[in-house]
Amino acid sequence: MRDTRRTRIALGGLLAAAALLIAAGRLGAAYPLRALGGTMLGAAERGMASATGSLAAVLGGPGAAGSGAKVNELERELISARLELSAERLDRAEYDQLARLLRLSSRERYRVVAATVIAVGQGWEQAVTLGAGSRQGVRAGDTVLNGAGLVGTVTRVSPSTCTVLLDSDAGAVVGVRLAGSGLLGWVTGSGAGLSGPALLRLRVLGPATGLATGEEVVTSASVGGRPYVPGIPVGVVIRVLSAPGPQGSLTATALVRPYADPAALDVVGIVIAGRGLT
């Protein structure tokens, strides 16, 4: 019970161990521990999620009435359709240019893996774990979306699970273009907290004449469709905060309401892109 010398030595040891871990992570040397934790705890989370899922099914909760596979399949189809629509909506000429530039093959269909959220990021983080991993072909950098719009990108993969950094995380940066004016920019998340729907912050490079409320924001192209497949709807501009004035900054800022609600994710699709695409 009492605070002895030995207790203090033990405390010092534990704090030193934690500091060492942080330092190792900074230097990129904590990877094996991360991988081990991801594999073991990921498997435990999968077990836990299936246990709670079957419990919910027994209790007759909504959306859990033994139709998980069907829901998954429907959701997957919806997401595939959404992807096709995104490709269609990209301006044809522009798309051809992009395709040539990024060596995307327009005939190549994206493959979509449906996965459910099994764990949710803790505290300040806007991240989720999905129940699909490298065994299903998921790799770091794959785009994740649901029927509503962009969800995030895969950052870490274990054999049976993967971690998705949501675009609402303060550390996430998504390259976007405005569907109407074609202006390029990027959105960042606002992080945890602040009750109500989490808004994204959009910054647009260049003249802000096209920046208007109600305009749709879609992902812009990235090499090989990673980390974001082009043309995925992200959200809609709800408020223009500042326009680049004659003496002001170079960027215009606006708030974007995301289509996908990061707080209510269940079945999502992981876009397996860049494989077999030359």
Partner 1 sequence: MSRLARRGLIALGVAVLGMAVAVLQVTVADRVAMPGGVAPDLPLVAAVLAGLARGPTAGMLAGFAGGLGLDLAPPSVHPAGELALAFCLAGYGSGRASGWAGRSVPRRLVVVPAGAAAGEALRALAAAVLGDPGITAAAARHVIPWAVGYDTLAGGTLVVLAALAARARARHGLARRGLARRSPARRGLARGWLEGRGPGGGWQAVPGIRRPAGPRVPGDFALRRAIAGRAPGVRRATADGIAPRGAAPAGIFSRGTGPGRAFSRRGVPGRTVAGRTVPGRTVPGRTVPGRTVPGRGVSGSALSRHIRAGRRAMPGSGWRASPRGGRSFRISWRRASPSRRGRPRRAGGTP
CB of 71 to partner 1, least distance (A): 17
With CB under 8 A as the contact rule, which of the stretches 14-22, 63-71, 175-183, 225-233 interacts with partner 1? 14-22
Alpha-carbon distance of 148 to 25, in angstroms, equals: 35
Q: How many residues sit in the footprint of partner 1 (CB under 8 A)?
A: 63
Distance of CA 201 to the CA centre of its chain: 15
- Per the CB < 8 A criterion, the answer to whether 271 and 145 are in contact is yes
CB of 253 to partner 1, least distance (A): 16
116 binding partner 1? (CB under 8 A): no
Of 137, 175, 191, 224, the residue at the interface with partner 1 (CB under 8 A) is: 191
CB of 182 to partner 1, least distance (A): 28
Of 63, 66, 171, 207, the residue at the interface with partner 1 (CB under 8 A) is: 171
- Per the CB < 8 A criterion, the answer to whether 95 and 106 are in contact is yes
Using CB under 8 A, which residues numbered 48 to 77 contact partner 1? 48-49, 52
Of 32, 60, 62, 123, the residue at the interface with partner 1 (CB under 8 A) is: 123
With CB under 8 A as the contact rule, which of the stretches 77-85, 107-115, 123-131, 215-223 interacts with partner 1? 123-131
Give the CA distances from residue 199 to residues 62, 232, 236, in Å, rounded to whole numbers and listed in that order: 28, 17, 10
Count of beta carbons in the 10 Å neighbourhood of residue 178? 21
Residue (66 or 124) nearer to partner 1, CB: 124
With CB under 8 A as the contact rule, which of the stretches 187-195, 212-220, 239-247, 250-258 interacts with partner 1? 187-195
241 binding partner 1? (CB under 8 A): no
CB of 10 to partner 1, least distance (A): 6
Q: Peptide bond preceding 246: is omega within 30 degrees of 0, i.e. cis? A: no
Which of 153-156's residues contact partners 24+ apart within 8 Å by CB, and which partners? 153/226, 153/227, 153/228, 154/227, 154/270, 155/127, 156/34, 156/38
Residue (11 or 81) nearer to partner 1, CB: 11
Residue 152: helix, strand or coil by DSSP?
strand
Strands (E), the chain: 111-120, 127-130, 143-145, 150-157, 162-166, 173-178, 184-188, 200-205, 216-219, 233-242, 251-258, 267-272
29 binding partner 1? (CB under 8 A): no
CB of 178 to partner 1, least distance (A): 24
- Per the CB < 8 A criterion, the answer to whether 87 and 221 are in contact is no
Q: Is 221 exposed, middle or buried (0-12, 13-18, 19+ CB in 10 A)?
A: buried
253 binding partner 1? (CB under 8 A): no
- Per the CB < 8 A criterion, the answer to whether 119 and 108 are in contact is no
User: Interface residues with partner 1 (CB under 8 A)?
Assistant: 1-3, 7, 10-11, 14-15, 17-22, 24-26, 30, 33-34, 36-38, 40-42, 44-45, 48-49, 52, 117-129, 155-156, 158, 161-165, 169-171, 190-195, 263-264
